[in-house]
Structure 1
Amino acid sequence: MASLVRCIFGARLYRTNSHGTVKGHDYQPNSVEKHSDNIIKLISFCWSFGYYTSPIILTILYRRGYFSLDGALSLGKFGGMVLLALCGAYYVRGLGRVSNPEYGTFISLLDEINRNEQSEKRKELQIYDFEFAAWPVDYQWSESASQPLWKDQSSPGSQRSRGAVEWLGGLPCQLLGYLAIHSFGCRIVYPGSTALLNAAIGSQLLLGRMKLVEKDHGKRAKLRTKDGNSIDTMFVDRRLKTVFPNGQKLVITSEGNAGFYEIGCMETPLKAGYSVLGWNHPGFGGSTGSPFPESEGNAIAAVMQYAVDELGFAYDDISLFAWSIGGFATSWAAMNYPQLSFVIVDATFDDLIPLAIAKMPQSLSYFVASTIKTYMNMKIADNLSNYKGPLRIVRRTKDEIIITSEFPDVAYNRGNDLLIKILQSRYPKLLDEEVTKVLRQFISITDQLSMLSMYSAFDVEDSACLRVLKDYAEKHSTKFPMLIGEDMTHARKVQLTLYLSTKYMTDFDSTHCSPLPASYFLPPWSLDDEMN
């Protein structure tokens, strides 16, 4: 009976990975388990679909008179039948699992580990790929663990106080904003957090994990965050492999709004030979919760602490790599962990608000801006402006996502604004209004001949610009912000600014979702390195 109960409520087993002489293979349920599990999946899918389309369904039910006593009784009978079918399917599935030796071995191992967290057999769990909700917690975020200074992205005084009348007048808008962002808004920003998308690409995620575990010898782990979410991570360790010269360095990757570590940007630093730690946003894949800014910060904090406390990497051996909206979590970590080796952001924007306004009807622009600012504020540029280390911005010249124009146009790519804000924060005396106009004109060009022509028009020489920077650094400092430019002519300011823009930004001739080649994953330029 105990075995039957474990099998009824046990986790789904997807695959047994290669180990020893055993070849990796997908779990093969018998016909009893297979058919009953299909019923459970169907009911679960219908429930998820009904949840996301509930406004439409409720409207239809109302028009057909189900919002009455007789209608409620009919719906209750239908719900009871579905519940009975679901309970029966769970019971029959348990019977099918009991008679399957492979599932019995797996569930016994999982049960033993749950009873004894220090069990020597814990490593054997890596053999199996199964429902992540049942995976034991490998690392718990702790107040006593190594932790950052916990900077807030909003500066003091940025939120002005409002009077009672103004507050009451804005209450309806705030209420609508709260309902919108917590129903469909968050899922529009992060579609990867929807259950339907997770179910639709479940087989691709399984194949991705299989490759990471069997080919790259990845180690899966569950991290518990400060706010109680569980974060699904994958670590590929190359420290002991001499064929990978960058293996002693760890790259932590952060995916886009529909990206997962299984099929996302982990591949780029892996091909470049680094040790890599990937993780899924809250609500993505096996991770729990919703990807609101605070949860994103707590998630990347747990990942960082896991890398240091559990995996044994020093902060200055850790680098960050982000694609698209993953730049927010990465910028938060960069702001709070200043000792990092370097940061690379690919196809990332400066601020979510301009992009959201561009994609929504103009009549809703105030509502959209107010809602995002209150509940989904992602000022990536502000966060990265607090990071002093080496930084590279990869801009996609054919990007069709992080633009504010109707058609792909590099002049409207928000990566431009990210670069400008970073340079303004690091070299505030260089980028005055006139210089910024020239810079924006320069980075709106993608044709190499045109860029060289503009370079020549302002007499920009790389060696001369570098010499000016070195001379200033030797007399003053390389520290951020660098106050070079106080006594310079407009022409000299333009020369240095254009030179620096080519050092901080790298163009990749591609659309938004193409994988970044490993050849683009190079440590960013640093004046400190040039001085050595």
Structure 2
Amino acid sequence: MGFLSYVFGPKLYQEYGLEKKFYEPSGLERVSDQIITTLSLMWNISYYTSPLIVTFLYKRGYLVTDSISSFVKFSTSIGIIVVITLCIRGFGRSQSKQYVKMIKAIEMTKISNNDEEAKRALRKFDFDFQSWQVDFDASSVQGDEKKRQLSTSSRETRQFRLATLPCKLAAYVAIHTFGIRMIYPGYIKLLQNYLNTFLIEGRAKLVEEHKALRYKVKTVDRNEIDTIFVDNRQNGSANGNILVICSEGNAAYYEIGIMSTPLSLKYSVMGWNHPGFAGSTGAPYPQQDKNAIDAVVQFAIHRLGFAVEDIILYGWSIGGVSALWASNLYRDVKGVILDATFDDILYLALSRMPESLSGIVRLAIRDYCNLNNVDSIQNYNGPIMLIRRTEDEIISEDNRINTNRGNYLALTLLKFRYPLIFKTTQLQRIKKILSRPVDPKNFSTTNDDLCMSRLITYASDQGKSFPMLIGEDYTEETRDQMAEFLLRKHFRDYKSTHCTPLPKDYFDIPWDIPIENGFVFT
């Protein structure tokens, strides 16, 4: 364990189990960290403003041969300052008992090839996740042919037209600069730096109160995904044998996200951060995000030992995109819960951008960030529950419930799964019901047993594959009864805004049609 381990070692945030929540560096380490942070900030500012700086220097006549020696001297001076500062930081860290313990734990995991005992010693510390060893590599698991077909089919091929080239270039630049950050604000480093203290506290709560374990999962495109797992299989609760995989929103992280709801019900729970969020590397472009959730599910199956049939995919807001994509790959999951999720991000983007830019917005979304849940929800045949926020200010226009994009997702689901029940008249009726808060008390339940019996009989004879062609000979009245029944089984309202935590009373295993097998329903 040499001096360089302290010079280039990761930043330590805290040691779990101590009264002092945060690691307090010595004076030398603190001052040197401030200097390095300041120099790094100056470099980032100069990098992004380099065109302006170069233009200014050129106009002032500084970009001439005689100025090269001055630039070399300046660069050398900065380099010497950095080296001296790093050495001072290394010396300061070597005098800290906590930091020395962490370095020893890191070195031990390298020597012991990630031995579990060494990992337990390392998990006592919260430090820069970049230095964490990879726990699971998705490339080591053989993907099946169906998965590759889905991945290939998700990439649409578009005809190239010279006339649209300027718009395509503008769309490319827009999405790869500010566009992806508007769609995923949690990807912005400035926001992450601001929230860093809250993220550290959130991880500490999960580790100390729920005995959570943090893991690094590597995707097939070599991104490293920051995940955390709470194992409740041994707590005596039946829910502990079910794993809930939580996919967060566009500005949320597992440390301060939706994990609290299934944890309150004693499920086993796994959280993960989108690529580019907190400890995860990469950027939240669709293919990287798809590879990330795929790797997380693979990790849950092959490393944590959960059967696909015991996994619930839980997505909030834009996390519903990730959850639905995973359901397309792993169709035998126990269910999918979508909270405050939209149908197609294109319509949300168009409503928030000037109409004059609609062409560029459409190209940018469809070519580079096509988050379309309408396609994904029709590729999943399992149990699903949609939760709508009646006062949602994010996926609605002016908080008007009839413009909530979750309405269209619900209609798409029901129309696809039961096309002969949800004909034009029934769709208009359900759309009218969705234009106001849906209160179960306003519906008659006298025909529920009969509706359930019809579904069981059909599914037992014909199977549960969708679209389910039940209702061909039904009267309009019977279709209306079935339509309302199916809406209530797949859809639920929660009176709240977009970002309010979901109460545990709203988190249920999604409803499924039982199949009659002799005298037993399975």
TM-score > 0.5 by shorter chain: yes
Determine the structure 2 residue equivalent to 1:34. Answer: 30
Change (3 A) 1:448 1:345: closer
Amino acid at match of 1:416: N
What TM-score results when the alignment is normalised by the length of structure 2?
A: 0.91
Give the match for residue 124 of structure 1: 121
Distance in structure 2 (CA, Å) of the matches to 1:296 and 1:276 = 19
Q: What's 2:482 paired with?
A: 496
User: Structure 1 residue 302 and structure 2 residue 302: aligned?
Assistant: no
Q: Which amino acid aligns with 2:416?
A: S
Counterpart of 1:255 in structure 2 is 248
Letter in structure 2 aligned against 1:516: L
Q: What SS does the aligned partner of 1:322 have?
A: strand
Question: For residues 435 and 151 of structure 2, what CA distance do their matches in structure 1 show?
Answer: 29
Give the residue type in structure 1 aligned to 2:489.
Answer: K
Identify if the C-alpha distance between structure 1 residues 40 and 175 changes in structure 2 by more than 3 Å, giving closer, same or farther.
same
Question: How far apart are 1:183 and its partner, in Å?
Answer: 1.3
Residues 374-424 of structure 1: per-residue CA shift (max 9 Å, x gap): 000111121121111110001000000012x2x101100010011011112
Distance, in Å, in 2 between the alignment partners of 1:383 and 1:447 is 25
CA RMSD across the alignment = 2.7
- Partner in structure 1 of residue 432 of structure 2: 441
Asked if 2 retains the 8 angstrom alpha-carbon contact of 1:280 and 1:287, the reply is: yes
* Structure-2 separation of matches of 1:362 and 1:492: 44
Aligned residues: percent identity?
Answer: 39
Deviation of 1:476 after TM superposition, in Å, equals 3.1
Is 1:410 the equivalent of 2:406? no
Name 2:469's counterpart in structure 1: 483
TM-score, normalisation: structure 1? 0.89
Corresponding position of 1:419: 410
Equivalent-residue separation in structure 2 for 1:14 and 1:468 (angstroms): 59
Deviations 1:79-137 (A, max 9, x none): 66555443332221111112222212211221232344244422211111000000011
Offset from partner CA, 1:330-349 (integer Å, 9 cap, x none): 11100110110111011111
Cα offsets for 1:293-318 (capped at 9, x unmatched)? 11011101110111011101111111
What SS class does the counterpart of residue 509 from structure 2 fall into? coil
Q: Deviations over 1:181-239 (max 9, x none)?
A: 11111111111111111111000000000011111000001011100000000000011
- 1:277 corresponds to 2:270: yes
- Is the CA contact 1:282–1:299 (under 8 Å) kept in the aligned structure 2? yes
CA shift, 1:48, in A, is 4.7
User: Counterparts of 2:180 and 2:425 in 1: how far apart (Å)?
Assistant: 38
Partner of 1:107: 103
CA contact (8 A) 1:301 1:333 kept: yes
CA shift at 1:473, angstroms?
3.0
Task: Tell me, yes or no, if the aligned pair for 1:234 and 1:277 is still in contact at 8 Å.
Answer: yes
Once the two structures are TM-superposed, the CA of residue 467 in structure 1 deviates from its matched residue by: 3.2
Structure 2, unaligned stretches of length 5 or more?
A: none
Distance 1:14 1:159, change over 3 A: closer
Match of residue 339 from structure 1: 332
Which residue of structure 2 aligns with residue 142 of structure 1? 139
Residue 349 (structure 1) aligned to one of 336, 342, 345: 342
Q: What secondary structure is seen at the aligned counterpart in 2 of 1:252?
A: strand
Separation in 2, partners of 1:147, 1:154: 11
1:218 equivalent in structure 2: 212
* Residues 151 and 335, structure 1, Cα contact 8 Å, conserved in 2: no
Q: Is the 8 A contact 2:460 2:515 kept in 1?
A: no
Contact 1:316–1:339, Cα closer than 8 Å, also in 2: yes
Residue 310 of structure 2 aligns with an amino acid whose one-letter code is D
Whether the 8 Å CA contact 1:151–1:336 is kept in 2: the answer is no
Is the Cα–Cα contact under 8 Å of residues 147 and 305 in structure 1 kept in the other structure? Answer: no
Structure 1 residues 91 and 154: CA distance shift in structure 2, 3 A:
closer
What is the CA–CA distance in structure 2 between the aligned matches of 1:494 and 1:359, rounded to whole Å? 36
Give yes or no for contact 1:153–1:382 (8 Å, CA) kept in 2: no
1:241, CA displacement in angstroms? 1.1
Distance 1:116 1:158, change over 3 A: closer
Q: CA deviation at 1:68?
A: 5.8
Q: Is the deviation greater in 85-94 or in 260-269?
A: 85-94
Question: What is the DSSP-based 3-state SS (H/G/I as helix, E as strand, rest coil) of the residue aligned with 1:231?
Answer: strand
Tell me, in whole angstroms, the C-alpha distance in 2 between the residues paired with 1:468 and 1:193: 48
Q: Cα 1:417–1:60, aligned 2, differ >3 Å: closer, same or farther?
A: same
Would the alpha carbon gap of residues 342 and 434 (structure 1) be closer, same or farther in structure 2, given more than 3 Å must change?
same
| Structure 2 match to 1:383 | 376
